[in-house]
Amino acid sequence: MLIKKFPKQVLLLSLVSFFTDIASEMLYPVTPIFLTAVLGSSMAVVGIIEGIAEITAGFLKGYFGNLSDKLGKRSVFVVIGYGISALSKPVPGLIASIPAVVVSRTADRVGKGIRTAPRDALLGSYSNGNTGAIFGFHRAMDTLGAAIGPLIAIFLLFLSPENFQLIFLIAFVPSAIALFFTLLVKDKPSHSRLKSKTNYSSFWKEVSGEYKFVLIMITIFSFVNSSDVFLILKSRFISDSNTIAILGYVFFNIIYALFSYPLGHLSDKFGKKNIFSLGLVVFSLVYLGFAIVVEITFIWLLFALYGIYSAATEGISKAWVTDLVSEGWRGSAIGLLTMCSSFAIMIGSFAAGVLWDYFGSTVPFLISSIISFLIAIILFLKAKP
């Protein structure tokens, strides 16, 4: 069986992500609809909230990635990070207000910021020339949860239409299960604490030029890779249906889960650069489609392609970075990558919201399509395999 190929800790971390994403993705497609349709916020406010959430996570991803290298500990940050996220889930269910959503999203991202880089560094430490497969499997489990979560949300809305608060409350249950599994996660015994200078200044001096190039290009791409909530809202605008918008997002996650491990495995054979660059080309086509499509039928094709893009980039980017640095620097390397990407996504989300409010949805989607295609070409031609 596939799961026998991976160490126990990889499987545990995958289960943690599976249950966490059931909870998170129950709320992710519902939150923008809750904000706009129930609480009456504008698209710019949605962008600001997502931006605040991302910039909070961004700062912490960089800091705790580096701190985990200094301490030689990963699992403690996994427990704390997932614990904070679990406690944040029910807040809007208890208090239906925009400030409550801001607090919940921000606290959730605080937890994500604390855990992400140490968790991914721990995953990378169990690789044996198969980082693409390991990160691909982890993303597949994570995304399977992301497909189940919205289905639960739809079922709850069916039982109690427009009762968004109930969804926020029930989302705490899978989060608590995930938190239990974090208590079983252990650090790899061979990971040793760094005794030399471990700040980002010394890290930047030691890492290769290839890592720096990859970091810069992915960060630039992140400026046009705004929050997925805009895809959900555009789908709702086209279909005039909350259910179709959420089901489209579910379909995206199913495709994402199905392709994550195969594409991760292929990246080990044919190069992370090649698969990642191909993923950006698919992203460009998807955003071009969302810029011009007005028929409901095409939404399903676009979400399917978006799932393939995500499978070709999300886990593979971390596997790529893992291959480019030594084991003792992996927390810092992944932390810096995710921090820079988060800052860029924050700015991009706000800009996309403003452009949508003033010029309509076509403009931000078209800009993202053009720039992502150019980045794909540059990476394919310039980056090493």
Crossing angle of helices 209-224/296-324, nearest 10°? 160
- Of 287, 279, 302, 228, nearest to 21 (Cα)? 228
For residue 195, is it within any domain? Answer: no
For residue 4, is it within any domain? Answer: no
For residue 5, is it within any domain? Answer: no
Provide the pLDDT for residue 385: 60
At 227, is the secondary structure helix, strand, or coil?
coil
Break the chain down into helix, strand, coil percent, rounded to 5.
85, 0, 15
For residue 3, is it within any domain? Answer: no
pTM score of the predicted model: 0.85
Q: How far is CA 283 from the centre of its chain?
A: 15
Provide the pLDDT for residue 70: 87
**Phi, psi for residue 96 in degrees, rounded to 5:** -85, 90
Q: Give the domain range for residue 286.
A: 10-185+204-382
- Of 207, 378, 212, nearest to 284 (Cα)? 378
Per residue, the 3-state secondary structure of 250-281, as one string, reads HHHHHHHHHHHHHHHHHHHHHCHHHHHHHHHH
Residue-by-residue pLDDT tens, the chain, 385 positions = 555 578 899 999 999 999 999 998 888 777 777 777 677 767 677 767 766 776 777 889 889 998 998 888 899 999 999 999 999 888 887 887 778 888 888 888 899 999 999 999 999 888 888 899 999 999 999 999 988 988 888 888 888 777 778 888 999 999 999 999 999 998 887 545 554 556 788 888 888 899 999 999 999 999 999 878 788 888 888 887 777 887 888 888 899 999 999 999 999 999 999 999 999 999 999 999 998 887 777 889 999 999 999 999 999 999 999 999 888 888 899 999 988 988 888 788 888 888 988 888 889 999 999 999 999 999 988 866 6
Provide the pLDDT for residue 342: 80
For residue 1, is it within any domain? Answer: no
237-258 burial: b if 16+ Cβ within 10 Å, else e: ebbeebebbbbbbbbbbbbbbb
What CATH number is given to the structural domain containing 139? 1.20.1250.20
Strand ranges, E, within the chain: none
Give the span between the Cα atoms of 138 and 211, in whole angstroms: 22
Q: What is the DSSP letter of 95?
A: S
For residue 271, is it within any domain? Answer: yes
For residue 233, is it within any domain? Answer: yes
Domain count within the chain: 1
Q: How far is CA 291 from the centre of its chain?
A: 22
For residue 198, is it within any domain? Answer: no
Which residues have C-beta within 8 Å of that of residue 359, sequence separation ≥ 6? none
